[in-house]
Structure 1
Amino acid sequence: MPRVFVQGAPAAYFPRHAPEAARGTVRRVTETGEEVLHKPCRDVTEFGPDLAALIDDMFRTMYVAEGAGLAASQVGVDLRLFVYDCPDDDGVRHVGHIVNPVLETSPPGRPLVEDTEGCLSVPGATMSVPRPEHAVVHGQDRDGNPLRIEGTGYFARCLHHETDHTRGFVYLDRLSKRDRKEALRQMTTHRDAVLARRAHRSASEPAAT
């Protein structure tokens, strides 16, 4: 079985970091409470060098922040787009980006799976969040070509989480009032250490290997 899928297609080999990261620049990650994270993003209507450069920056920023996915709103850009480099529950790696993502609705009655989830925009906090164990997302690639991405397990969780960002939701919105308060407490406690680690990685880690 292939161990890496790039843009939904099996790949015989893929480097440790997506090549886009080598061209990218690290951007600041927005944090919960900032307006761009809490409203639906705009559709991408222009495909070209500016979009490609944004995707490069997002990959670079995601790796520096040690994330499995990153939406454009998390770097302050009000567009429906995310990148990912995420394993599924079988250890298969999935790498890519998707523009204007639309998540297929899960069949009624399908159980949700509780698992730990974090967010680069809620630094230092992790909580258990119920999500479907399967996801199918339709959208486009950076050139505007149709794209379909399917995932299970942890990768499905990533697809649901990042698509939520494009709709103006963070995972805190899926928590009870009590759990949300606990997540924000964790963020208050650990935020400075997380941001210091990101700053160190940004200054010291090669762009891509």
Structure 2
Amino acid sequence: MAILEILKYPNPTLKKVSQEVESFDADLHQLLDDMYETMRARNGIGLAAIQVGIQKRILLINLPREDDTQHKEDLLEIINPVFLKQEGATKWNEGCLSVPEFYEEVERFAAITLAYQDRFGEKKILAGDGLLAIAIQHEIDHLNGILFVDKLPILKRKKFEKELKKARKELK
């Protein structure tokens, strides 16, 4: 397994729309394993393939349990996701591995139902609410070329851009 490079905003690849996965083979399994290692190495709870430069409709979700630890047996490998139902509204303070050190409240659906395939191409249905629904919506946005900062109201977006410029100057 390998730790992959996570693309950072404003990398233009992050704006690309991901393509359907058609081959559920050893290469896909290796990518899923590498994505899991990468996500865990960065203390993430979700990761979309586009964030590691792979333009495929693949995402991982690994939510922590009550004791705040993540367990591999809780890992969701979601391939070719399609929303079946989106209900209610909620706001959640989100962050992103591609937008490090920036957190902001984003409005999302409160509950979702999703059709997807697993690593073997088996069709599955998943319903969720709370953090699971938020994380899935966040990662599916990545597959559609959308980052959570794109959903911010104009004033919060300007604040983000200002903080990003300041951070870049400090790095130089």
TM-score, normalized by the shorter chain, greater than 0.5:
yes
Aligned pair partner of 2:27 in 29, 34, 50: 50
Name the structure 1 match of 2:81: 101
Name the structure 1 match of 2:122: 145
CA distance in 2, matches of 1:134, 1:92: 23
CA distance in 2, matches of 1:74, 1:34: 10
Q: Deviations over 1:47-82 (max 9, x none)?
A: 101000000010000011111100000000000000
CA distance in 2, matches of 1:133, 1:190: 33
Shift of 1:87: 4.2
CA distance in 2, matches of 1:67, 1:148: 24
Q: Over aligned residue pairs, what C-alpha RMSD do you find?
A: 2.5
Name the structure 1 match of 2:111: 134
Name the structure 1 match of 2:136: 159
> Structure 2: which amino acid aligns with 1:47?
F
Aligned pair partner of 2:161 in 179, 184, 203: 184
CA distance in 2, matches of 1:189, 1:59: 31
CA distance in 2, matches of 1:149, 1:186: 37
Aligned pair partner of 1:74 in 39, 44, 51: 51
SS at 1:179 equivalent: helix
> Structure 2: which amino acid aligns with 1:95?
L
Distance 1:85 1:188, change over 3 A: farther
Name the structure 2 match of 1:197: none
**Amino-acid identity (%):** 32
CA distance in 2, matches of 1:187, 1:157: 24
Shift of 1:104: 2.4
Q: Deviations over 1:156-188 (max 9, x none)?
A: 100110111111111111111211222334445
Shift of 1:138: 1.1
SS at 1:45 equivalent: coil
Name the TM-score, length of structure 2 as normaliser. 0.87
Q: Deviations over 1:93-119 (max 9, x none)?
A: 742111111122424xx3x21120011
Shift of 1:128: 0.4
Name the TM-score, length of structure 1 as normaliser. 0.72
> How many residues in Structure 1 have an aligned counterpart in Structure 2?
167
CA distance in 1, matches of 2:62, 2:113: 16
